[in-house]
Structure 1
Amino acid sequence: MRVCQLLSLLCLLMIAGVCRAAAADTTGEFTNPLLGSGPDPWVIQHKGYYYYLHTTGHNLVIRKTARMSELGKAPEVVVWTPPRKGPNVRDVWAPELHWLDNKWYLYYTAGSSDSIHPQHTFVLENTAEDPTAGTWTDRGQIKDTAADYFAIDGTVFTYRRQRYFIWSGHNGKDNVQRLYIARMSTPWTLASPRVEIAAPRYAWEQNGVNEGPEILKNNQGDVFLVFSACGCWTENYTLGIMTLKKNADPLQPGNWTKSPEPVLKSKPENGAFAPGHNGFFKSVDGREDWIIYHANSKAGQGCGGARNPRIQQITWRPDGRPDFGEPVKINTPVKRPSGE
């Protein structure tokens, strides 16, 4: 009899747990982080779905979901595994997915099998409508032939009908990570020499690192470049911002202005250590702008897999500049993106 009573009690507890979970799903709220691990997160919206990627270190994986707040429910699909030898076989980092010329292009960073050559950026092409399906064709390295140095965290930026590639790299003289831009002729070919548009200059950019560049635009057409600074191995990893002069040439360094203060930094009491490497997306109904970024939940976790993805809404100031606020507190209910 006692065994039967115990089993009945366990069943009731399980049912209650399911009911609580179902109730949580209908509250219109979610909690950060979205996943237990997710360094260098990236998301793009396409025809009713969000496609999410992050660094695994050894392959390229995509999650597909209709609701970003429910990312944890989306299964992983491995879309590419590196070859055993070659220039792009190890330390696979910072994947980004872009829909260009009615095809998918997946940009990523990787290193050579000889362990001598540094990290470079590469791209894959897929003609399928759904990037979790179809076949990926290797389009090779995105390369500035005049300066083939360390190059990571590549992203694509379209402005005034022209496409540009922006990345973090070295100048061949020191190990400082600078931000570079070049014009593109195809999604895998640079059509101009690289131009340096940013280098560490402020105290909060210590350790010689500017990386993870991402473009954000407001409704008035203003262009902002949000980047990561300092070093992911420290608690001072942070986000900075640059502004492009209105209707100006992005290839002219003087047309970019770096703000003297960071825009998102650690908040230990919120479980947010070393926030950085961000991306942006719109809510389902297009009414809200959101940022996705990674952070550690505890001090001293460094650059590894403990970094996890968080999302929060961006607000806009009267002058058109974005306001990221402070990192939201983990494990605390947050209102879902509008339309979910």
Structure 2
Amino acid sequence: MKKNILWIFLLLATAGNSQTTPIISTDTASTFTNPLLVVGPDPWVISKDGFYYYLHTTGNSIVIRKTKTMTALKSAQPVVAWQPTPGSANSKNIWAPELHYLNKKWYLYYTAGATANLATQRTYVLENAAADPTTGSWTDKGQIGDTAANFFAIDGTVLEYKGKNYFIWSGHISATDNTQRLYIARMADPWTLATPRVEISAPTYAWEKIGTPNVNEGPEILQNAKKAVFLIYSASGCWTDDYALAQLRLKKKGDPLQPSHWEKAPLPVFSKSPENSAFGPGHNGFFKSPDGKEDWIIYHANPSAGQGCGNARSPRIQRITWRADGTPDFGVPLPLDKRIKKPSGE
């Protein structure tokens, strides 16, 4: 009888809510709570062959966790995939690792520098031919970037589009201008660019300019069922509570290398929620539920105001849905410690 009452309650609760409202209940078997880990800035997830592979910024190495379900991430054993050679150009401030499967091999894209001086931060690539990226060995493929514009470059990701791969990152226009802009270039192979970089976004709205310097960073790709391409990025300084997610949309049949083919949303698409203990939500990734029926976002946020870019940032997940016009609806950051329905298929 109790089970029937619970189902009636859930049906009534969802009947009056929008599609983006999650089911919250006391059922511990089919629900979970955020955060997934106590610490986890710049989280990233990719799934392959029935497993999820999770990474986040550690600062001094690259660590991978392998899990069958994202809500069981706390139980996944961390595996140190790579550590730098002391004193090398990529030995300091190791940030934002991303794992991609390209040309039947695994590639790790990450940011690192030579010194504590952040001006040396660049993007680098590692390669692994093993079927499971927590096994095998990683080969250092060196720095990836535009050799004619070798300036500050962080947060690299890959867009696979119409049979071609594109590298997207956040960087500076020169050695003296420290505004962070988003750049794209077509890739010749997973560690080499085939074209010069092209700027596709710079901080233009007031909500993108909170904190100095002004920041666009953390670009990530999201596609809907019709393969429309969205680039979700983080705007304003991560040291502020107003770090938030913003959106570019590639025009239908657009050319990713044409700046005019990217349309910027005039407002942030996901921002702080003090009442839900979410300050500075950003630097996200996306993944499908185990049965492939749902789209989910993973992001970091601070539980309290004024905590900045440190290890108070924890990884959180929630379902996203799609509006009638094909754009993603992220809703608002969900409350901590509230029971949320698990991804479909868990």
What is the TM-score with the length of structure 2 in the denominator? 0.90
Q: Which of 237, 252, 270 is the aligned partner of 1:246?
A: 252
For residue 204 of structure 1, give the secondary structure of its aligned residue in structure 2. helix
Cα shift readout 1:93-133 (whole Å, capped 9, x = no counterpart): 00000000110000000001484852000000000001001
C-alpha displacement at 1:322, in angstroms? Answer: 0.2
For residue 79 of structure 1, give the secondary structure of its aligned residue in structure 2. strand
Q: Which of 244, 255, 263 is the aligned partner of 2:269?
A: 263
Cα shift readout 1:66-104 (whole Å, capped 9, x = no counterpart): 000111110101111111012100000000000001100
Aligned residues: CA RMSD: 1.2
Aligned runs of 1:74-223 on 2, under 5 Å? 74-113=76-115, 115=117, 117-172=119-174, 173-206=176-209, 207=211, 208-223=214-229
- State yes or no: 1:278 paired with 2:284: yes
Q: Distance in 1 between matches of 2:199 and 2:147?
A: 15
The higher radius of gyration belongs to 1
Q: Distance in 2 between matches of 1:93 and 1:116?
A: 11
Q: 1:305 to 1:30 in 2, by over 3 A?
A: same
For residue 263 of structure 1, give the secondary structure of its aligned residue in structure 2. coil
Cα shift readout 1:291-330 (whole Å, capped 9, x = no counterpart): 0000001111110011000000001000110000000100
- Indicate conservation of the 8 Å contact 1:105/1:123, yes or no: yes
Q: Distance in 2 between matches of 1:58 and 1:25?
A: 39
| Matched-pair identity in % | 63
- Indicate conservation of the 8 Å contact 1:84/1:113, yes or no: no
- Indicate conservation of the 8 Å contact 2:205/2:266, yes or no: yes
What is the number of residues matched between the two proteins?
317
Q: 1:114 to 1:263 in 2, by over 3 A?
A: closer
For residue 70 of structure 1, give the secondary structure of its aligned residue in structure 2. helix
In structure 2, runs of 5+ residues without a counterpart are: 1-25
Q: Distance in 2 between matches of 1:324 and 1:191?
A: 34
For residue 151 of structure 2, give the secondary structure of its aligned residue in structure 1. coil
